[in-house]
Structure 1
Amino acid sequence: MRARLVVFPIKGKKWCFSRSVDPFAAQSPSGVTPTTVRGLWKKISSESKPINANAELLVDFISDKMNKAWVGLEKSPDGSIKNKIHGFGLKLLARVKPSEIFLKSISKEVTSVQVTYPPSLDPRLVRRRLRHIAMSGTILHKKYLVGSVTLLPLTSAFMVLPLPNIPFFWVLFRTYSHWRALQGSEKLLKLISNESNPDKPDSTDDADESKNKKKPEQKLQSPTCILLPSEELYQLIRDASEEGLDEATIVEICKSFDLNKNDVLKYRNLV
C-alpha cells in the first residue's frame, strides 16, 4: 500500500508533516481482530505464529477495546461522569505532539510513500527532514515506551478505588501510542533510506554493470519513496506571512490534499 505524505512550511522554520486521510484505512476486515478474550486465546493458540505476530494481535485487541470504550464515553449524556471524563481526555489528547500522530499513521501495511511538497523546497532537504523525524522518533518513542510500561504496574494499584482508573487507562493508551509511533518511525526510516529515482543516472552504473546483469530483477524494483513536487501546494503557501499560514489557508490545503485539519493546526501552534 502506498501512503501519500504532504510536507510544507507552516510557520517560519516549522514544517508540517502529515499523511493524507485514507477513507479505507479505518475499515479493517471483519474477523481479523477477535472481539472476545476467548476468541483471542483461541486464535493465538490454534495458529502457529511468531511471537511478534501474536504480540501485534494482542495490541490490536486492546486497541479495539479502547476505541470502543472511547466511543462510549463520547456518546454519554452531557453532565454525566463519563462525559466529563471524555472532556478531560480530549484535553490530554490535545497535548500529544503532531509528529507522534504523523509517525503513528505509517502503519505496517505501508510499502511505499509518495511525498508531496512545494517545488520551492529542495527535495534533498525534504528527504533529510523526513529521515530526521524518523530517526528522532525511534529514539524518543523507544525511551517513552519503556517509561510507560514501567508505570503500568504502579497505576494499576488504583483499581481498588471505586472510581474509574483514569491514570491506568491513560498510561495504557500512551504505551500503545508510543509503540505504534516507534513502529512507524522504523518503517518510515526504512522507506526513506531505500529511496531510489529510476530517472536519475547513477555514477556507479559502469562499475556495477556486471552486477546488474547478474541481478536484473533489481532494475525492475519499484522505489519505496517518490518525491513529487506540487505546484498547487506552492500556490497555496506562497503568500504566507511571517506569522505563518492562516487558518483559512490551512483549511484549503487540508481539503485539497485530504489532511486532518486539527493535526495540521497543531504544527502551527506548537511552541
Structure 2
Amino acid sequence: MRARLIVFPIKGRNWCFSRSIDTSVSELGYSRTSPTLKDLCKEISSNGKSMNENAELVVDFVSDKMNRAWIGLEKAPEGTFKKKIYGLGLHLLARVKPSEIFLKSISKEVTEVEVTFPKSLNSRLVRRRLRHTALRGTIIHRKYFYGSVSLLPFTMAFTVLPLPNIPFFWILFRSYSHWRALKGSERLLLLVSDFSKALKLDASNENGKEIASDDHGINDSSIPSLVLNPCEELGKLLGQGAGYGVSRRVITDICKAYHLDTKEVLKYHNSV
C-alpha cells in the first residue's frame, strides 16, 4: 500500500509532516463485526504465528474496542456523564503532539511512500528530515511506551472508586498510542533509508510468496519504497511567507487541497 505524505515548512526549521487522508478507507468506518475475546484467543492459538504477530493481534483487538467505546461516548446525549468524559478526552487529545499522530498513520501495511513537498526545497534535505523524524520517533516513543506500561498497575488501584477508571483508560490509550507511533517510526525509517530490499523480503515472508530474484536474491526492478515528488502547486500555496511563518488561512487551503487533517496540521502552527 502506498501512503502519500505532505511535507512543507511552517516557519524556519519547524516543518509539517502529515499523511493525506485516504477517503476510500475512512468511508468504511466500523461497519465490520467487532471481534470477540473468543475470536482473539482462537487467532492466537492458531499455528504458524510468531510472538510479534500475536502481539499485533492483541494491540489491534484493544484498539478496536477503544475506538468503538470512543464513538459511543461521542454519540452520548448532551449533558450526560459520558458526554462530559468525551469532552475531557478531547481536551487531553489536543495535547498530543502532531508528530505522534503522523507516525501513527504509517501502518504496517504501508510498503511505499510518496512524499510531496514544495519544489523550492532540496529533495535530499526532505529525505534527511524524514529520516531524522523517524529515527527520533523510535527513541522517544519506545521510552514513553515503557513508561506508560509501567504506570498501568498503579492506575488499576482507582478501580475501587465508584466511578469509571479514567486514569487507567487514559494510560492504556497512551501505551497503545506510543506503541503505534514506535512501529510507525520503524516502518518509516525502513522506507526512507534505502532498505527497500529488506522491506521486500519482509513483505514476501508475511504473504508467504516468493519474489523473483537476481544474483543477490532480490529483484531490483521492483517499485522503489520512496518516491520524492517536488510540487510547484504546493510552493505557490505557500507563497513567500514560509520563511516568516505560514498563516492559518494558507494552512487551511493546503489541507483542503491535499486532504489533510486541518486540526492536526494547525498544531504545528500553534507550536511555533
Same fold, TM-score > 0.5, yes or no: yes
Match of 1:181 in 2: 181
- CA apart distance, 1:93: 0.2
Alignment of 1:75-86 (within 5 A): 75-86=75-86
Q: What CA distance in whole angstroms lies between the structure 2 residues aligned with 1:241 and 1:135?
A: 25
Contact conserved, 1:119 with 1:231, CA < 8 A, in 2? yes
Match of 2:73 in 1: 73
Match of 2:139 in 1: 139
* Gap runs ≥5 in structure 2: 197-212
**Pairing 1:223–2:217 present:** no
Alignment of 1:1-271 (within 5 A): 1-26=1-26, 27=28, 35-194=35-194, 214-215=215-216, 218-240=219-241, 244-271=245-272
Contact conserved, 1:18 with 1:259, CA < 8 A, in 2? yes
* TM-score, normalised relative to structure 2: 0.88
Which region of structure 1 is more displaced relative to structure 2, 162-171 or 237-246?
237-246
- CA apart distance, 1:223: 1.1
- CA apart distance, 1:34: 5.5
Q: What CA distance in whole angstroms lies between the structure 1 residues aligned with 2:45 and 2:107?
A: 25
Q: What CA distance in whole angstroms lies between the structure 1 residues aligned with 2:114 and 2:179?
A: 24
* TM-score, normalised relative to structure 1: 0.88
CA deviations over 1:82-105 (Å, ceiling 9, x no partner): 111111110100000000000000
- CA apart distance, 1:225: 0.6
Q: What CA distance in whole angstroms lies between the structure 2 residues aligned with 1:99 and 1:178?
A: 11
Query: Residue type matched to 2:231 in 1?
Result: S
Query: Residue type matched to 1:67 in 2?
Result: N
CA deviations over 1:25-76 (Å, ceiling 9, x no partner): 3448987x85211221122223431111111111111111101111111111
Q: What CA distance in whole angstroms lies between the structure 2 residues aligned with 1:132 and 1:45?
A: 39
Structure 1 SS opposite 2:86? helix
Match of 2:201 in 1: none
Structure 2 SS opposite 1:174? helix
Q: What CA distance in whole angstroms lies between the structure 1 residues aligned with 2:87 and 2:214?
A: 62
Higher Rg = 1
- Percent identity over the alignment? 60
CA deviations over 1:124-147 (Å, ceiling 9, x no partner): 110110011000000000000000
Contact conserved, 2:248 with 2:269, CA < 8 A, in 1? no
Q: What CA distance in whole angstroms lies between the structure 2 residues aligned with 1:216 and 1:171?
A: 44
Query: Residue type matched to 1:257 in 2?
Result: Y
Q: What CA distance in whole angstroms lies between the structure 1 residues aligned with 2:266 and 2:30?
A: 32
Contact conserved, 1:7 with 1:17, CA < 8 A, in 2? yes
* Gap runs ≥5 in structure 1: 197-211
4+ runs deviating over 6 angstroms: 28-31
CA deviations over 1:240-265 (Å, ceiling 9, x no partner): 26652222211111111111101110
Structure 1 SS opposite 2:5? strand
